[in-house]
Amino acid sequence: MVATAMSRVNVDGDLRRLEEWLLREYPADLIMPVKAGTKQPVKAHKNGKWTWEEYRAFMSLPKDVDIGILLRDLCVVDFDDVDTALSFEKAFPELLEAPTEVTRKGRHYFFRRPDYADAEGYFDGSRQHSELPVDFKSVCSTGTSGLIVVCPSSNKRWLRPPWMHAPQEISRALLSRV
């Protein structure tokens, strides 16, 4: 939980760096507060209802929330266990360069969403056919942003922060595997 799980200095610093990085590099990918300990957004965001201005107004008062990113230009490979993530790192070295966050059960790897993703049907959850504990998080086929909960939320920690390790475009090989 942003307000209680970590020291205020670390939370404020990580959140500030995340905000600055998104606004500078990926302004269409918005921060969305989620109910603490869940993946449930605090406000509706379908059809672009959530904006940076609404985020700032919401966060101007202390809240017991975690933090998510509404994905549009970014995409995330979400592993639900570390062993699977490490085996994918061996097969796909691009994961070793990607911004990475450690989660309670696994890891999140951040990439730029490729231009061909829409035409080839790569949307949030739509092509997940693997029996492996891995998900592709991205914009949905309806145009609604997918959501990924990130640090400084509870049980999340940056291994390679995105403001220090620029996301590269996800490769076709990795995208087709997840």
Q: Is the pLDDT of residue 3 over 70?
A: no
Which residue range is the domain that position 113 belongs to? Answer: 8-177
Q: Is residue 2 part of a domain?
A: no
Q: Is the pLDDT of residue 47 over 60?
A: yes
Q: Is residue 51 part of a domain?
A: yes
Question: Which pLDDT belongs to residue 32?
Answer: 95
Q: What is the mean pLDDT of residues 135-148?
A: 91
pLDDT band at 6 (very low <50, low <70, confident <90, very high): very low
Question: Which pLDDT belongs to residue 61?
Answer: 74
For residue 110 the two structure tokens come to 């951040």
Q: Is residue 137 part of a domain?
A: yes
Please name the helix (run of DSSP H) or strand (run of DSSP E) that holds residue 20, with its range, or none.
Answer: helix 8-25
Question: Domain of 134: which CATH number?
Answer: 3.30.2250
In this predicted model, what pLDDT tens digit does every residue of 51-105 receive, in sequence order? Answer: 999 999 998 877 789 999 999 999 999 999 999 999 999 999 999 999 999 999 9
Q: Is residue 1 part of a domain?
A: no
Q: Is residue 108 part of a domain?
A: yes
pLDDT band at 124 (very low <50, low <70, confident <90, very high): confident
What one-letter code names the amino acid at 64?
A: D
Q: Edge to edge, what strands does the sheet with 100-102 contain?
A: 134-137, 74-79, 107-112, 100-102, 157-160
Q: Are 75 and 117 in contact (CB under 8 A)?
A: yes
Q: Is residue 119 part of a domain?
A: yes
pLDDT band at 5 (very low <50, low <70, confident <90, very high): very low
For residue 41 the two structure tokens come to 């957004």
Q: Is residue 98 part of a domain?
A: yes
* Domains: count for the chain: 1
Q: Whole-prediction pTM value?
A: 0.90
Question: Which pLDDT belongs to residue 2?
Answer: 43
Q: Is residue 88 part of a domain?
A: yes
Query: Which of 130, 129, 25 lies closest to 72 in space, CA to CA?
Result: 25
Q: Are 67 and 18 in contact (CB under 8 A)?
A: yes
Pairwise pLDDT comparison (118 vs 75), residue with the higher score: 75
Question: Which segment, 3-7, 34-38, 119-123, 128-132, is predicted with the most confidence on average?
Answer: 34-38
